[in-house]
Amino acid sequence: MTSSEKFLQMAAAIGAFAAVIGVILFIAGRFSGRRGDRVVALAFLLPTVALLLVGLVYPGLRTIYQSFFNAAGSSFIGMDNYTTLFTTPDQVTVLRNTVLWVVITPFVATAVGLLYAILVDRARLESLAKALIFLPMAISFVGASIIWKFVYEYRPAQGGIKQIGLLNQLVVWAGGSPQQWLLEKPWNTLFLIAIMIWIQAGFAMTVLSAAIKAIPDDIVEAARLDGVRRLGMFRYITVPSIRPALIVVLTTIGIGTLKVFDIVRTVTGGQFDTSVVANEFYSQSFRSDNQGLGAALAVLLFVLVVPIVVYNVRQLRAQEAR
Amino acid sequence: MSVRPSRLPLRLPLPCVAVVGVLGLTLGVAGCGSSNTASGTPSASGSSSSSGGNACDAYKAYGDLTGKTVSVYTGIVTPEDTPQINSYKPFEKCTGATIKYEGDKSFEAQVLVRAKAGNPPDIGIVPQPGLLKQLVATGSVKAAPPEVAANVDKFWTKDWKTYGTVNNTFYAAPLGANVKSFVWYSPKEFKSKNYKIPKTLDELTALSETIAKTGSKPWCAGIASGEATGWTITDWMEDMMLRLSGPDTYDKWVNHTIAFNGPESVAALDAVGKILKNPAFVNGGLGDVKSIATTTFQDGGLPILDGTCSLHRQASFYAANWPKGTKVAEDGDVFAFYLPGKDTASKPVLGGGEFIAAFTDRPEVKAFQTYLSTDLWANNKVASSPDGGWVTANKGLDTGKLTSPIDQLAASILQDPKAVFRFDGSDQMPAAIGSNAFWKQATNWITGSSTQAMTDAVEAAWPK
């Protein structure tokens, strides 16, 4: 296919999309009144539901079904894939790493973001300081991973050979000897997590900073008159006031962390015991040709994400009810 | 900003977006298709190599295929795709057929998806016998037509035909080939220090010790290759398996009729370890033993140019890896010698190559498939690769036409009747081993695990 053909195809696809929307709007527009509202709602909902069924529910159910089958998907093996997940040393390492990621990333990223938001709040050059920490958000995960791969790069301490990695250069300047940061387990996972925190701290800072600015001045005034000081202010005024924002940030980063794939794949490819569930799922499904185990990993990831999503939705409901 | 705190989360669409994202990733396994394909449609009136009226005589047997199209799907992408596409042009010109070439870096994963989804190409260029087996298992590969089988009998050795055969049915003719049993060195250094090219494994060890005594590290190596990290060691181990236990045991080992953690395996990997895990022998210019794990395979041999190491075992395709201006020749900056056998009498060669699998049996597809299995195509391919970098085990290849010295050396080894060719073992093993456990455990081995632990772990991962 040449480029012009591709553009033609793209134009056709956009045209078809516009036509479908047009038809929906046209049908919806022909009805009015109370019954009409229902028709309108239906006209807008049906296409979405149909797409969800085809693109999400069916593949989802099929993945769950596949997870009970062998590598080629040809014979039923019951829970064997799940047993493999929790018993073989390689897979247990994958689970351990995922736990490390999920426990560390959201809290550290949120803490860094919160601290930063408080420190720069109403400071001079606030917007510049915020822009600096927000910038990594604009970089794709793969781009960020490549940058950090260079930061961690190792060259031996031999005559005439210069470090090209920032971290090792700093170590050498401080009088140390260069380290293979990505090799020693389990520390290498922590170095990968640092990349995710670097990316997500900006997101946490932005949301939390907005929330802090929205704390009504009268509450702050009142607390001050009551004699609440720095730490107390943080503990009794700031945190409770921004609690909903904190939960959104924590859960959003938590979900993003469970899905982490790009960073691991780009920096280590899952080698040196750094694989996580999403990366292992890809590698089992498409590299090892083990559909069953791949599907089981996907289901596991789904099961792990569900509680966070449920918690998030509940919190939102509670907010609405208030 | 005047957003009230309690309303703030409700205004953020982020959680919802994230939820959909998660579902999309976790549950999207069953519904994926291919879309990232690059393609080029060579014009039928290509004016590359052969021209003139009777140049088309050789193509008469294929008949008139005007208006017919054959789609080719492959992992051969820029820049290697240009000579490949050009080598099809004489066929297109003389028969009137159009070859639709589609190169895709993730061919190996996508071709399986396409075969399973019932949307395969007409022809796939399959780089591994293991992948061919997987494709045949999907039931979508057609057996090779008799003309192709006859050509393969005529132009290739029996070993090669075996690699295109699954369950006693011959499916796929070989296409290109490469030689992996090479050790790169600096001819200048060898000349000035009076080192001799070793003829046996013992001589190689002796040479390594001689170099080590001068205070320099003889070997340099790198195995990092993204998710494929470790494959360089699998090649090393296969080479040693072939040399220490012979081709028959090698075949049994690859086909898992002997265990992966048996004594032969352990001996082969220990032989690799005597070089790669010997701090006195590695890793010239790159660090300690562990630095092998984090040095990319592309960078692994470059210290030879700086003189910080002298020997680097890597396949013939490493020739493309030297910086511009490096003379790759027997009297140049770098060249390769054959990784010697245990003794001078045996000459095992480890290598790789591609195979042509057809998913349809329309006449034009068969005709094109047949063309690719001829000496005619092999020589057209050489003519359309003026910069070299390509060889085949096709005995009809006119080796005199090869332009680069390393290609000539590789072709002479491939066509040497005394040489016993064996295909890269990890490419034949099941995917769970050949493109996962073997790489991963080889990487663990270089970063510290023992030979026994490594072979045990691979054996445990072997699909039952």
Secondary structure E strands in A180-295: none
Chain B residues 397-436 within an 8 A CB cutoff of chain A: 430-432, 435-436
- CATH number at B227 reads 3.40.190.10
pLDDT of residue B149: 95
On whether residue B98 sits in a domain, the answer given is yes
Q: Which member of A248, A271, A289 has the closest CB to residue B134?
A: A289
Q: Name the pLDDT band for A318 (thresholds 50, 70, 90).
A: confident
> Are B187 and B162 contained in the same domain?
no
Among candidate residues B90, B77, B4, B33, the one with its CA nearest the CA of residue B368: B90
On whether residue B27 sits in a domain, the answer given is no
On whether residue B274 sits in a domain, the answer given is yes
pLDDT of residue A160: 67
DSSP readout, A218-238? HHHHHHHHTT--HHHIIIIII
> Are B196 and B246 contained in the same domain?
yes
Q: Name the pLDDT band for B12 (thresholds 50, 70, 90).
A: very low
> Would you call B27 and A244 a contact, using CB atoms and an 8 Å cutoff?
no
Q: How far apart are CA A79 and CA A320, in angstroms?
A: 41
Mean pLDDT of the B247-266 span:
94
Q: Which member of A55, A283, A298 has the closest CB to residue B29?
A: A298
> Are B115 and B252 contained in the same domain?
no
Pick the residue of A271, A280, A304, A310 with the most B CBs within 10 A to test the interface with B by mutation: A271
Q: Quick check: B207 and B354 in contact, CB under 8 A?
A: no
Q: Quick check: B435 and B250 in contact, CB under 8 A?
A: no
> Are B278 and B386 contained in the same domain?
no
> Would you call B27 and A272 a contact, using CB atoms and an 8 Å cutoff?
no
Secondary structure E strands in chain A: none
On whether residue B38 sits in a domain, the answer given is no
- Counted domains in chain B: 2
> Would you call B228 and A322 a contact, using CB atoms and an 8 Å cutoff?
no
> Would you call B463 and A71 a contact, using CB atoms and an 8 Å cutoff?
yes
> Are B167 and B119 contained in the same domain?
yes
Q: How far apart are CA B9 and CA A317, in angstroms?
A: 11
**Distance (Å) from the C-alpha of residue B3 to the closest C-alpha of chain A?**
6
Q: How far apart are CA B124 and CA A242, in angstroms?
A: 58
Pick the residue of B27, B429, B454 with the most A CBs within 10 A to test the interface with A by mutation: B27
Mean pLDDT of the B227-254 span:
93
Among candidate residues B189, B187, B215, B219, the one with its CA nearest the CA of residue B204: B219
Q: How far apart are CA B172 and CA B356, in angstroms?
A: 5
Provide the 10 A C-beta neighbour count for residue A285: 22
> Are B345 and B363 contained in the same domain?
no
Report chain A residues whose CB lies below 8 A from the CB of B27: 56, 59-60, 63, 298, 302
Mean pLDDT of the B451-463 span:
92
With a pLDDT cut of 70, the percent of chain A lying above it is 98
Task: Specify the amino acid at residue B171.
Answer: Y
Report chain A residues whose CB lies below 8 A from the CB of B284: none
**Distance (Å) from the C-alpha of residue B63 to the closest C-alpha of chain A?**
27
> Would you call A295 and B10 a contact, using CB atoms and an 8 Å cutoff?
no
- The residue of chain A with its CA nearest to that of B283 is A156
Q: Which member of B18, B290, B437 has the closest CB to residue A180?
A: B290
Coil vs helix vs strand at B450: coil
Q: Quick check: B319 and B230 in contact, CB under 8 A?
A: no
Contacts of A87 (CB under 8 A, 6+ apart): none
Q: How far apart are CA A131 and CA A125, in angstroms?
A: 10
Q: Which member of B1, B293, B443 has the closest CB to residue A210?
A: B1
Among candidate residues A129, A104, A312, A105, the one with its CA nearest the CA of residue A209: A129
Mean pLDDT of the A127-134 span:
88
For residue range B340-392, list pLDDT tens digits in order.
999 988 899 999 999 999 999 999 999 999 999 999 999 999 998 888 888 99
On whether residue B144 sits in a domain, the answer given is yes
Q: How far apart are CA B416 and CA B428, in angstroms?
A: 23
**Distance (Å) from the C-alpha of residue A304 to the closest C-alpha of chain B?**
10
For residue range A223-281, list pLDDT tens digits in order.
889 888 888 888 888 888 898 899 989 999 999 998 899 999 989 888 888 999 999 99
> Would you call A289 and B430 a contact, using CB atoms and an 8 Å cutoff?
yes
> Would you call B10 and A265 a contact, using CB atoms and an 8 Å cutoff?
no
Q: Quick check: B230 and B219 in contact, CB under 8 A?
A: no
Q: Quick check: B446 and B455 in contact, CB under 8 A?
A: no
pLDDT of residue B35: 37
Q: Which member of B4, B134, B463 has the closest CB to residue A214?
A: B4
> Would you call B10 and A259 a contact, using CB atoms and an 8 Å cutoff?
no
Residue with tokens 């298992």: B137
For residue range A57-99, list pLDDT tens digits in order.
999 999 999 999 988 888 899 899 999 899 988 899 999 999 9
Q: Quick check: A312 and A97 in contact, CB under 8 A?
A: no
Contacts of A279 (CB under 8 A, 6+ apart): A260, A261, A264, A265, A270
> Would you call B22 and A251 a contact, using CB atoms and an 8 Å cutoff?
no
Q: Which member of B30, B228, B461 has the closest CB to residue A59?
A: B30
Q: Quick check: B426 and B435 in contact, CB under 8 A?
A: yes
Pick the residue of B1, B20, B26, B429 with the most A CBs within 10 A to test the interface with A by mutation: B26
Q: Quick check: B275 and B208 in contact, CB under 8 A?
A: yes
Q: Which member of A154, A270, A302 has the closest CB to residue B227?
A: A270
Expressed as residue numbers, the domain containing B357 is 56-179+351-423
> Would you call B22 and A255 a contact, using CB atoms and an 8 Å cutoff?
yes
pLDDT at B15 over 80: no
Taking every pair of C-alpha atoms in chain B, what is the biggest distance, in angstroms?
A: 86
On whether residue B214 sits in a domain, the answer given is yes
> Would you call B432 and A214 a contact, using CB atoms and an 8 Å cutoff?
no
With a pLDDT cut of 90, the percent of chain A lying above it is 45
pLDDT of residue B49: 42
Mean pLDDT of the B137-154 span:
94
Which contiguous run of DSSP H or E holds residue B103? strand B98-103
> Are B282 and B375 contained in the same domain?
no
> Would you call A210 and B8 a contact, using CB atoms and an 8 Å cutoff?
yes
- The residue of chain A with its CA nearest to that of B10 is A316
Coil vs helix vs strand at A153: coil
Task: Specify the amino acid at residue B248.
Answer: D
pLDDT of residue A162: 79
Q: How far apart are CA B273 and CA A67, in angstroms?
A: 39
> Would you call B287 and A155 a contact, using CB atoms and an 8 Å cutoff?
yes
Asked if this assembly's ipTM is beyond 0.85, the reply is no
Q: Quick check: B419 and B413 in contact, CB under 8 A?
A: yes
> Are B270 and B344 contained in the same domain?
yes
pLDDT of residue B287: 82
Residue with tokens 């060259």: A155
| Cα dihedral value A29, A34, A39, A45, nearest 10 | 100
For residue range B407-433, list pLDDT tens digits in order.
999 999 998 888 899 999 999 998 889
Contacts of B41 (CB under 8 A, 6+ apart): A1, A2, B98, B100, B101
**Distance (Å) from the C-alpha of residue A87 to the closest C-alpha of chain B?**
13
pLDDT of residue A322: 63
DSSP readout, A58-95? HHHHHHHHHTTB-TTS-SB-TTHHHHHHHHSHHHHHHH
Task: Specify the amino acid at residue A150.
Answer: F
pLDDT at B275 over 90: yes
> Are B159 and B187 contained in the same domain?
no
Least confident residue range of B105-114, B145-154, B173-182, B359-368: B105-114
> Are B323 and B378 contained in the same domain?
no
Separation of CA B371 from chain center? 22
pLDDT at B14 over 80: no
Q: Quick check: A304 and B7 in contact, CB under 8 A?
A: no
Burial of A65 per CB tally in 10 Å (0-12, 13-18, 19+): middle
Phi first, then psi, for residue B268 (nearest 5°) are: -65, -45
Least confident residue range of B142-151, B261-270, B432-441: B432-441
Q: How far apart are CA B302 and CA A161, in angstroms?
A: 13
Mean pLDDT of the B249-262 span:
94
> Would you call B27 and A63 a contact, using CB atoms and an 8 Å cutoff?
yes
pLDDT of residue A320: 76
Q: Name the pLDDT band for B151 (thresholds 50, 70, 90).
A: very high
Chain B residues 37-66 within an 8 A CB cutoff of chain A: 37, 39, 41
Residue with tokens 């680069």: B404
On whether residue B79 sits in a domain, the answer given is yes
On whether residue B69 sits in a domain, the answer given is yes
* Separation of first and last alpha carbons in chain B: 63
Partners of B101 in beta bridges: B40, B72
Helix axis angle, B231-254 to B263-276, nearest 10°: 160
Phi first, then psi, for residue A195 (nearest 5°) are: -65, -45
pLDDT of residue B16: 34
- The residue of chain A with its CA nearest to that of B137 is A72
pLDDT at A143 over 90: yes
Among candidate residues B243, B408, B417, the one with its CA nearest the CA of residue B313: B243
Which contiguous run of DSSP H or E holds residue B71? strand B69-74
Which contiguous run of DSSP H or E holds residue B123? strand B123-126
**Distance (Å) from the C-alpha of residue A245 to the closest C-alpha of chain B?**
6
For Cα atoms B457, B462, B464, give the angle at the middle one, nearest 5 degrees.
135
**Distance (Å) from the C-alpha of residue A93 to the closest C-alpha of chain B?**
13
Among candidate residues A251, A256, A237, the one with its CA nearest the CA of residue A301: A256
pLDDT of residue A211: 92
Q: How far apart are CA B464 and CA B462, in angstroms?
A: 6
Task: Specify the amino acid at residue A282.
Answer: Y
- The residue of chain B with its CA nearest to that of A161 is B285
Chain B residues 4-23 within an 8 A CB cutoff of chain A: 4-6, 8-10, 12, 14-15, 18-19, 21-23
- The residue of chain B with its CA nearest to that of A284 is B432
> Are B392 and B290 contained in the same domain?
no
Q: Quick check: B310 and B287 in contact, CB under 8 A?
A: no
What is the DSSP pairing of strand B348-358 with strand B173-179? Answer: antiparallel
> Would you call A287 and B109 a contact, using CB atoms and an 8 Å cutoff?
yes
Which contiguous run of DSSP H or E holds residue B352? strand B348-358
Report chain B residues whose CB lies below 8 A from the CB of A1: 37, 39, 41
Q: Which member of B29, B31, B41 has the closest CB to residue A285?
A: B29
- The residue of chain A with its CA nearest to that of B24 is A56
> Are B320 and B433 contained in the same domain?
yes
Q: Quick check: A178 and A156 in contact, CB under 8 A?
A: yes
Q: How far apart are CA B379 and CA B358, in angstroms?
A: 22
